[in-house]
A and B are shown apart, each in its own frame.
Chain A
């Protein structure tokens, strides 16, 4: 689904030239659920943004669903984002003056789907995520978890091939985070490729693969052994993501909800 070859990206900031991505190669198959981990400034978000055609890259090749993505104009990029990709953000990024239903329907608005029809579809998606009763509430009347579910519904409504989630649980408490992961896993099981950027280990562990990026290069790709869909099952999970974890600065990891078992491993 996603194929990148030798991707380079640097930012110029005045005199400083910051080389963020230093030749990344990666293949993500359709239907995979992977996580990208790494410390701040490691380039994980930049990589996700390149996947999302929100940012361009300097060198290399990027194929999305077999189509080469390079130097697209903003209109084509917008259309591709609209049709192929769904975004879930840490800060939810709902449009403040639109109610939940209208927020979910927004991508269809850009596809020029008639209002009545798109709102009907939006209601269906909200219903699936258990938010039907909240459809007519504005974002500021919703809890964090509800907002993120609205955002997920919004990402799903165009039936994208890939969902890109940038720290989707970053602003949620641990219980809600796990609920969110359950949801994302379920969505993944319907065949949608899922890429999650996180720095929470127990979030990463619930994906099939964890790509660990440090300093602009892929340090390792870890296959997570067991997929668990239930938060309660989590303690039974054994994972082989290890060793390198110790290298991570402690403050990078949200350890609030981390079970003791993992602490020991770390």
Chain B
């Protein structure tokens, strides 16, 4: 029930010393403001990193070849070897936990020279031979046209999906690229799609300079035989990709005469582990932010508690009068706690609003200016965190009021009445 007298008293108490109220409130305001800013910035950092992971399947592993380091079965150390198409079949048959397996090959021979030509324009781009499955592991986002599909693979069609940057470099600004032909290392390919990376910064730049063609086309056209550059593998849902990784490496070692003890012959990158590392890092950051934020908040709350003690002291006589007139201790305690809660909640709410506002402003400024940073993306706090912060505020306000309130009723009514300032 709305109790006008209670609010009148709260208003009077807070109003009676405006500067003091303001400074106290500022302590709480600052605490919550800092908490929100830090949480928001932490989120910005996290968003930026998780954007670099893009929508990549986090339960994926990539396996490629390196030089052997242990002599085995008559082979010397320092041997180079290649995976082949049969490895893919063998892995699929031997490991039931595999969800997607995509052999991949990079036309790495063309680096550094201008390997792609269209009319008078030319450029140097990475050429990737892909299976459609790979796009389920590391999605490619199509602006125009289509992705590589199974029929392309089957018929070894000479079609390519080109990155946005490739289009910019090989075509005029308003020129239609779809259906046009580009010459890659002497062979003509038809452009069927244009893709645009969703990663940020440098990574996106690099990805947009890729040209994707069917895996089989690349093997055949450029004389790779049945060589596979590397495998992208994801595990079935609920199964750690590390299980798959271990088994796959073991099988590949067997198939290529690599010593079981040779850990360096087979290169592998486990995205799941990487992702976990980042998750751990961000959990750490978040914990730190909360500790620091709560610490700052506590400083503010102690300020409130302190001021409430002073207020109670100043109002000793008035509280004495109220008690003489029949105010029960519960009434007095709840009144003082209410005052503390109102003060902290108001101040905290402003901190919350201004903190969130500032984050939104930064976000807006970054977006409208087009600034794209590797380190910071869409800072902000979610509604749940704001609610938690607000709950903490109310509780800590109550806590801040509690000690002064106890002090107020610990005095005998007569001593309170006699109290002179």
State whether B326 touches A95 (Cβ < 8 A).
Answer: no
How many angstroms from the CA of A55 to the CA of B411 in the assembled complex? 11
| Given contact pairs A49-B414, A102-B5, A79 touches B324 in the complex (Cβ within 8 A) | no
How many angstroms from the CA of A74 to the CA of B324 in the assembled complex? 11
Q: A208 interface residue, CB < 8 Å from B? A: no
Chain A residue with minimal CB distance to B2? A115
How many angstroms from the CA of A54 to the CA of B416 in the assembled complex? 10
Chain A residues 79-116 with CB under 8 Å of chain B are 79, 81-83, 87, 89, 93, 95-98, 102, 106-107, 109-111, 115
Q: B55 interface residue, CB < 8 Å from A? A: no
State whether A54 touches B412 (Cβ < 8 A).
Answer: yes
Interface of B is mostly: helix
State whether A78 touches B4 (Cβ < 8 A).
Answer: no
Contacts between chains A and B (CB distance < 8 A), count: 69
State whether A78 touches B414 (Cβ < 8 A).
Answer: no
How many angstroms from the CA of A75 to the CA of B318 in the assembled complex? 18
Chain A residue with minimal CB distance to B325? A107
State whether A55 touches B412 (Cβ < 8 A).
Answer: yes
Please indicate the chain B residues that have their CB under 8 angstroms from the CB of A110 in the complex.
Answer: 322, 325-328, 331
State whether B331 touches A87 (Cβ < 8 A).
Answer: no
State whether B8 touches A98 (Cβ < 8 A).
Answer: yes
State whether A115 touches B5 (Cβ < 8 A).
Answer: yes
Q: Tell me the count of chain B residues lying within 8 A, CB to CB, of chain A.
A: 23
State whether B417 touches A74 (Cβ < 8 A).
Answer: no
Partner of B324, one of A75, A81, A96, A115: A81
State whether A54 touches B413 (Cβ < 8 A).
Answer: yes
Partner of A107, one of B326, B328, B409: B326
Chain B residue with minimal CB distance to A154? B325
Partner of A87, one of B4, B324, B412: B324
Chain A residues 168-227 with CB under 8 Å of chain B are none
State whether A54 touches B324 (Cβ < 8 A).
Answer: yes
State whether B329 touches A75 (Cβ < 8 A).
Answer: yes
Chain A residues 39-74 with CB under 8 Å of chain B are 49, 52, 54-56, 74
Please indicate the chain A residues that have their CB under 8 angstroms from the CB of B417 in the complex.
Answer: 54, 89, 93
Q: B362 interface residue, CB < 8 Å from A? A: no
Q: Mark B289-327, 1 if CB is under 8 A from A, else 0.
A: 000000000000000000000000000011001111111
State whether A96 touches B318 (Cβ < 8 A).
Answer: yes
State whether B325 touches A87 (Cβ < 8 A).
Answer: yes
A84 to chain B, nearest CB (A): 10
| Given contact pairs A75-B329, A97-B9, A115 touches B4 in the complex (Cβ within 8 A) | yes
Interface residues, chain B, CB within 8 Å of chain A? 4-5, 8-9, 12, 317-318, 321-331, 409, 412-414, 417
Q: Give the 8 A-B CB pairs with smallest separation, nearest first.
A: A82-B326, A97-B12, A54-B414, A110-B326, A55-B414, A78-B328, A93-B321, A54-B413
Contact sample, A vs B, 11 pairs, CB 8 Å cutoff: A49-B414, A55-B412, A55-B413, A74-B323, A78-B329, A81-B323, A81-B326, A82-B325, A95-B322, A102-B5, A158-B326
